[in-house]
Amino acid sequence: MNSPRFKHAAIVGSGPNGLAAAVELARNGVSVRVIEAEETIGGGTRSGELTLPGFVHDICSAIHPMAIASPFFRALPLAAHGLDWIEPPAQLAHPFDDGTAILLERSIDETCETIGGQDAAAYRRLMQPLVDDWEYIAPEVLRPLRFPRHPFKLARFGVSAMRSVQGLAKSVFADERAQGFFAGIAAHSMLSLEKTGSASFGLVLAMAGHAAGWQIPRGGSQKIADALSSYLRSLGGEIITGSRVETIDDLLAPESVALCDLTPRGLLKIAGHKFPENYRLKLESFRVGDGVFKIDWALNAPIPWKAKECARAGTVHLGGAFSEIAESEAAPSKGEHPAKPFVLLAQPSLFDASRAPAGKHTAWAYCHVPNGSTFDMTERIENQIERFAPGFRDCIIAKKVSPPAELERHNANLIGGNISGGSQEIRQLFLRPTARLYTTPAKGLYICSSSTPPGGGVHGMCGYFAARAALEGIE
């Protein structure tokens, strides 16, 4: 290991990317201090008793396919620092009004059995070659854009990935059921299904489901941050909570660097005076993207799904066939709130008894809304759950409603309720937040948030690559 060109590093923010950057620097002999504005670490990987005592809810992220797939996290001894992953029997369930469901299973064959008909063979033709190449594709999609090490394998992925969800689903699948199943997976992108490149999110998450699993941390998402922080401290790193950085001037010094786990807006707030006007304008023009409206429930029983197999899945997508999901996902960019929102739901207590008192359960769900929306989507979200699980409302003991403003209050990076570090449309997916990626015009100052490649998700790769840029002296 070569000696780093600097001795000290300050990390602003303790989300998974900030902690990943801190760990990578500490592993290379740098004295690291993480500074977190909130009283608890974790950013988007925090948990708490949001409804009633004994009911543990994830404040932001809940299901973590990309954490399992992350090359960086896989290289760390996080299990030795308390991180224990749970894989539900099925990764995802997508129910329909007739009481049936399509399930994303680890096995492609078993997934195809739930799809049925000619679309089962179509799904196998689409996914099997990609899953077979997962070990080559995953490292490429979880890094900045570059010439790939395995160009032919990535090209096969890219031909489908660059299409819109609508274009790919309509051309591959004959039935709206299979089209809706794929659309639900791709809708994690928070993009209209007509957007070029939106299919890539569905392909990557489906591949991850087959190759790695959509897993949950035992005890809540907070355990990811706790394991990273425990490992960091074992390397000599320091973490300070409840301390808000007001200006980067307090952190930049000789033989030191600063890495900011902040969105462009947050970076401008503390360091804008360090940047030339053209760079400030580029950060100001970075598109934030749509927001989410989230609800957590304490329940007196498991959700009573019409499609009983939904109880095997950690994640449930509620939106039925393709046309309904497409309409829902197109609405936020128009400033509209769909009457039947596509709802993404997690039910971790079915597989992790530590989340709720004996015999009780938790659930977590959100839908996409215009950024900064103040419209109350509670009834519409609960109507969608009741539609596929009659009697759901009778199970509710307590609830915590988190509109976009509440999410941003918990985590300043969730601007207007956006959970992906900014819109992931193709024009700012690869060169985010600017063509400089992790570097800034200010010497020794880097950005390591999900506003840099490879973007949103709990994988730590943004922080890892920002740390590598600093260690390699890229300015």
30-49: pLDDT as tens digits: 999 999 999 999 999 999 99
The pLDDT value recorded for residue 143 is 87
Mean pLDDT of 296-325: 98
What are the tens digits of pLDDT across the range 59-80?
Answer: 999 999 999 999 999 999 999 9
Q: If you average pLDDT over residues 1-7, what whole number do you get?
A: 74
Enumerate residues 6+ apart whose C-beta is below 8 A from 36: 13, 14, 18, 239, 240, 241, 242, 243
* Rounded percentage of the chain residues whose pLDDT exceeds 90: 92
Helix (H, G, I), strand (E, B) or coil at 432: coil
DSSP 221: T
Strand bridging mode 8-12 / 31-35: parallel
Class of domain 8-48+58-83+218-287+420-471: alpha beta
Fold of 86-216+290-410: Polyamine Oxidase; Chain A, domain 2 (3.90.660)
Distance of alpha carbon 446 from alpha carbon 468, whole angstroms: 11
Query: Is pLDDT of 1 > 70?
Result: no
- What digits encode the pLDDT tens for the residues 86-127? 999 999 999 999 999 999 999 999 999 999 999 999 999 999
Whether the predicted pLDDT of 153 surpasses 80: no
What the block records as the tokens of 99 is 């009481």
pLDDT band at 144 (very low <50, low <70, confident <90, very high): confident
Fold agreement between 8-48+58-83+218-287+420-471 and 86-216+290-410: no
Taking Cα atoms as reference points, which of 424, 347, 348 lies closest to residue 165?
424
Closest residue by Cα to residue 213 from 313, 342, 352: 313
On whether the CB atoms of residues 304 and 391 are closer than 8 A, the answer is yes
Q: Which residues of 210-229 are buried (b: 16+ CB within 10 A; e: fewer)?
A: bbbbbbbbbbbbbbbbbbbb
Q: Most distant CA pair in the chain: distance in Å?
A: 66
As a whole-number percent, the residues of the chain with pLDDT over 70 amount to 99
In the chain, where the domains are located: 8-48+58-83+218-287+420-471, 86-216+290-410
For residue 83, what are the contacts with CB-CB under 8 A and spacing of at least 6?
217, 223, 224, 226, 227
More confident residue, 2 or 309: 309
